[in-house]
């Protein structure tokens, strides 16, 4: 069958080391361009590369953001020269207090709330923007559970192009405001994320020069999450952790962290050693966890009902691949209740001074559950991802945290309150 | 006979002569897809796998309902219904 471009903007411009698009399901291969689903089987397309003679020194001499890994991404070599939000190289925090509270020997928190719009989504959007530019798109768009909305609106503002962002209307007020502030077209939709995603797919079929980062530019966009894996390895001194716990919505982030680790092994940048990948979901939207527990390799969609709105994707496109990764590496997918999500946020904040959003709460509480159940090795080096900022999900904790006291501005009042 | 309208995703428009929306007949999704195949040869094999099931990475909607939440290929398609075929990509 003749190639069917999704728009007439192909062929691609300069996409760096990327060489082709390959279907994950059936292996069908095609040239680089604005394609996102296999024309044979609808399977998702993955990017293939030729990394040439890239070395660790090339990376180490690069900028202090994700572009140090540009030789591993579908972006041009001069990507850092065009205006972008320069995400990445967030802190890898040695979390001894949390480790002690949970009975772990060595634990790190990859704190991606430190990105420009305070979630890991700045990584994927930066790569999507660079690729969209090369592919000739004019508008940066997305359906979003909230964080992606922030990242797309901000990146487009910085790049000086139009954005078009679609979110469920019941999103946290903080995420509405932190999207609207950047200007651009911003639409709230009366439906859940899966409804918004469907709408975006339909609009993408009509608006040929709109790059919906996670729909018609998804093969490029998703590669941005690899940088989490690269950074963790580099920050550990070019080593892989033994265990990692990653939040799961569509499942893209988890599969790309694994892809990053595999690439680093193949390039000889880290020692080839076993590691285990664990996925974290909320009970009110745990379709991948349910499939894992049932031993299925397909994921049955659910209607989400959880305070972890950033993870509320009921029909996760990469769910089957999450199952593949966790089973291959000897990990698991687990879920926790909304009350445990809140406990997880508070535990991370109290022990490490890191205020994560609900997705972070999901991850911390799943970590605890896996340790308590004996499924995570307490003596093995462990990394967890805090993928977003608690300031965007204040409603989760506002009922349960408060000042210690309210007093008059006098020493007597301070003494009387018994706070000394 | 009930006539429905079917929204065609970009990657299937080669089968419909570039049309993004076509009419089809059938009281169930299964019958609608069979009718689509009759007028646009080859399209059914893109939507259904070798066992005749909806492919893993295709979402099909009748109206607002994902047919995986309804009766799958046996989902009723009343006259005037809007059927949408959409590649499964999500992540937000
Ligand atoms: C804060 C946060 N963490 C994790 C995720 C999950 O990412 P993915 O869809 O790649 O599984 C999201 C995404 O929607 C998010 O906003
Ligand atoms: Zn395929």
Q: Do B87 and A206 touch (CB under 8 A)?
A: no
Angle at B75 between CA B72 and CA B80, to 5 degrees: 135
DSSP per-residue string spanning A292-346:
HHHT-SS--------S-GGG--SS-TTHHHHHHHHHHHT--EEEE-HHHHHHHHH
Q: In what order do the strands lie in the sheet with B82-87?
A: B21-25, B3-7, B82-87, B58-62, B65-66
Q: Mind listing the domains of chain A with CATH numbers?
A: 92-118+220-396 (3.40.50.1100), 120-218 (3.40.50.1100)
Q: Is position B64 within any domain?
A: yes
Query: What pLDDT score does A10 carry?
Result: 47
A291, two tokens: 């499939």
Q: Is position B92 within any domain?
A: no
Model confidence pTM above 0.90: yes
How far, in Å, CA of A23 to CA of A29, rounded? 6
Cβ atoms of A22 and A45 within 8 Å: the answer is yes
For residue B11, the SS3 value is: helix
Tell me, yes or no, if A111 comes closer than 8 A to chain B by beta carbon: no
Q: In what order do the strands lie in the sheet with A333-336?
A: A92-94, A107-111, A382-386, A243-247, A276-282, A333-336
Q: Is position B76 within any domain?
A: yes
Q: Do A4 and B13 touch (CB under 8 A)?
A: yes
Partners of residue A212 on adjacent β-strands: A141
Say if residue B10's pLDDT is above 70: yes
Q: Is position B26 within any domain?
A: yes
Structural domain boundaries enclosing B77:
3-87
Residues A348-405 have pLDDT tens digits of 999 999 999 999 999 999 999 999 999 999 999 999 999 999 999 999 999 999 999 9
Residues present in chain B in total: 92
A363 CB within 6 A, ligand 1: no
Cβ atoms of A185 and A163 within 8 Å: the answer is yes
CA distance, residue A97 to nearest chain B CA (Å): 32
Cβ atoms of A390 and A355 within 8 Å: the answer is yes
Contacts of B8 (CB under 8 A, 6+ apart): B15, B16, B19, B20, B21, B22, B85
Query: What pLDDT score does A2 carry?
Result: 35
Q: Which residue, by CA, sits nearest to atom 13 of ligand 1? A: B92
Assign residue B59 the CATH number of its domain.
3.10.20.30
Tell me, yes or no, if A336 comes closer than 8 A to chain B by beta carbon: no
Q: How many domains does chain B have?
A: 1
Residues A194-245 have pLDDT tens digits of 899 999 999 998 999 999 999 999 999 999 999 999 999 999 999 999 999 9
Task: Please name the helix (run of DSSP H) or strand (run of DSSP E) that holds residue A290, with its range, or none.
Answer: helix A287-294
Cα–Cα separations (whole angstroms), residue A28 to A113, A202, A407: 37, 24, 69
Query: What pLDDT score does A11 carry?
Result: 56
Cβ atoms of A288 and A319 within 8 Å: the answer is yes
Residues lower than pLDDT 70 in chain A: 1-12
Tell me, yes or no, if A39 comes closer than 8 A to chain B by beta carbon: yes
How far, in Å, CA of A350 to CA of A26, rounded? 48
A249 CB within 6 A, ligand 1: yes
B34, two tokens: 């069979």
Question: Percent of chain B beyond pLDDT 90?
Answer: 76
């Amino acid at each position: 069958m003749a190639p069917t471009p999704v728009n007439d903007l192909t062929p691609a411009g300069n996409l760096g080391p990327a060489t082709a698009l390959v279907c994950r399901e059936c292996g069908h291969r095609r040239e680089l361009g604005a394609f996102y689903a296999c024309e044979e089987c609808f399977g998702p397309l993955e990017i293939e590369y030729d990394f040439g003679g890239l070395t660790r020194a090339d990376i180490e001499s690069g900028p202090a953001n994700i572009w140090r890994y540009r030789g591993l991404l579908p972006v041009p070599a001069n990507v850092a020269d065009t205006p972008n939000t320069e995400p990445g190289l967030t802190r890898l925090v040695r979390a001894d207090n949390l480790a002690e509270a949970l009975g772990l020997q060595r634990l790190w928190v990859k704190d991606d709330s430190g990105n420009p719009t305070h979630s890991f989504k700045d990584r994927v959007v930066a790569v999507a923007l660079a690729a969209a530019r090369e592919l000739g798109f004019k508008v940066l768009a997305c359906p979003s559970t909230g964080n992606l909305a922030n990242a797309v609106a901000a990146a487009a503002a910085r790049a000086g192009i139009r954005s078009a962002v679609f979110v469920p209307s019941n999103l946290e007020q903080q995420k509405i405001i932190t999207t609207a502030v950047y200007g651009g077209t911003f639409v709230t939709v009366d439906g859940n994320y899966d409804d918004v995603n469907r709408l975006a797919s339909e609009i993408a079929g009509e608006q040929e020069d709109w790059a919906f980062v996670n729909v018609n530019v998804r093969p490029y966009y998703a590669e941005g999450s690899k940088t989490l894996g690269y950074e963790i390895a580099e920050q550990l001194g070019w080593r892989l952790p033994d265990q990692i716990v990653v939040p799961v919505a569509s499942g893209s982030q988890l599969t790309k962290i694994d892809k990053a680790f595999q690439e680093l092994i193949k390039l000889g940048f880290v020692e080839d050693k076993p590691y285990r990948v664990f996925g974290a979901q909320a009970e009110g939207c745990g379709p991948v966890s349910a499939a894992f527990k049932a031993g299925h390799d397909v994921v049955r969609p659910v209607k989400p009902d959880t305070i972890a709105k950033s993870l509320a994707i009921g029909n996760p496109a990469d769910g089957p691949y999450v199952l593949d990764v966790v089973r291959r590496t000897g990990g698991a997918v687990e879920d926790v209740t909304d009350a445990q999500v809140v406990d997880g946020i508070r535990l991370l904040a109290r022990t490490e001074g890191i205020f994560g959003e609900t997705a972070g709460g999901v991850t911390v509480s799943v970590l605890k559950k896996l340790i308590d159940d004996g499924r995570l090795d307490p003596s093995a080096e462990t990394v967890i991802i805090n993928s977003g900022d608690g300031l965007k999900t204040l409603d989760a904790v506002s009922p349960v945290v408060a000042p210690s006291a309210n007093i008059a501005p006098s020493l007597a009042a301070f003494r009387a309150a018994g706070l000394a | 006979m009930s006539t429905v309208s079917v929204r065609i995703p970009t990657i299937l428009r080669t089968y419909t002569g570039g049309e993004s929306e076509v009419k089809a007949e059938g009281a169930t999704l299964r019958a609608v897809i069979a009718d689509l195949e009759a007028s646009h040869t080859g399209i059914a094999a893109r939507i259904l796998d070798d066992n005749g099931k909806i492919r893993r990475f295709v979402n099909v909607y009748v109206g607002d309902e994902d047919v995986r939440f309804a009766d799958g290929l046996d989902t009723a398609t009343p006259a005037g219904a809007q059927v949408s075929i959409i590649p499964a990509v999500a992540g937000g």
